[in-house]
Amino acid sequence: MNAGRHGCWFCVKSRPRQESVAARNLASLGGVEVLMPRVRRRRLGHDGPKHVVEPLFPGYLFARYEPEESHGPVRSTRGVLHVVSKAGKAVEVEDSVIAELRNLGPDATLTLEDPRPKVGRRVRIIRGVFEGGEGEVLRLASPQRRVAILMTLLGSDQPVELSLDDVESLPDET
C-alpha cells in the first residue's frame, strides 16, 4: 500500500484524553513518526471566551513505523490503547490522507473562525419570521446566544432580537 523505507502510517487509539501523552511517548520511540492533528477554536468558558487547542480527532493520532519492528512497542506505549485494526490486522492509512492533514500547517492545526457575527457587521436571517431579511448587528447577548439586529421594517429602522442560530454573517463589502 504505502510501505516504504520509513514504514506505513497507522491510526492509533489513545486512552481517554491522553492523546498528547501517547504522542509524546510514541515520538520518543526510535523509528516512529507521529502526527496529532489539532484544532484551534474559541470556546466560551465560565470566565469568558478563550482560545483552546484540542485534538482534531479526539482519542486518535497517527504514527508511521515499520510494523515488523515497532508494532509491539507502539501497542504497549504509555497512553496508547490500541492500533486501529480490522480482522486482527492493523489498518494502514493512505499517504494522501496524511498529506491532507499536513496541509493544515506545520503543526497540523486547523484554525476555526469565530462563527459569531460581530457588532456593526451585516447579517442575513436564515430562519424564522424574518427569513431572508438582512440587518446590522447592534449587540450580542452571549449567555442567551441572542443577537440584536437593526432591520428596516415597514419603512423604519427597528431593533429585532433573534437566536444566533437564526443568522449568518454576510461577507465584507469591499
Phi, psi of 23 (to 5 degrees): -60, -45
Assign a CATH topology to domain 8-111. Alpha-Beta Plaits (3.30.70)
pLDDT tens, 71-115?
999 999 999 999 999 999 999 999 999 999 999 887 888 877 666
Closest CA to 119 of 92, 143, 93, 148: 148
How far is Cα 74 from Cα 29, in angstroms, rounded to an integer?
8
Say whether pLDDT at 1 is over 50: no
Domain spans in the chain, listed from the N-terminal domain onward: 8-111, 122-169
- Helix residue spans in the chain (DSSP H): 19-28, 67-75, 95-102
Mean pLDDT on 16-30: 95
How far is Cα 48 from Cα 111, in angstroms, rounded to an integer?
19
Which cell numbers hold the place of 67? 510494523
3-state class of 65 per DSSP? strand
pLDDT tens, 35-68?
999 998 776 556 656 778 999 999 999 999 999 9
Assign a CATH topology to domain 122-169. SH3 type barrels. (2.30.30)
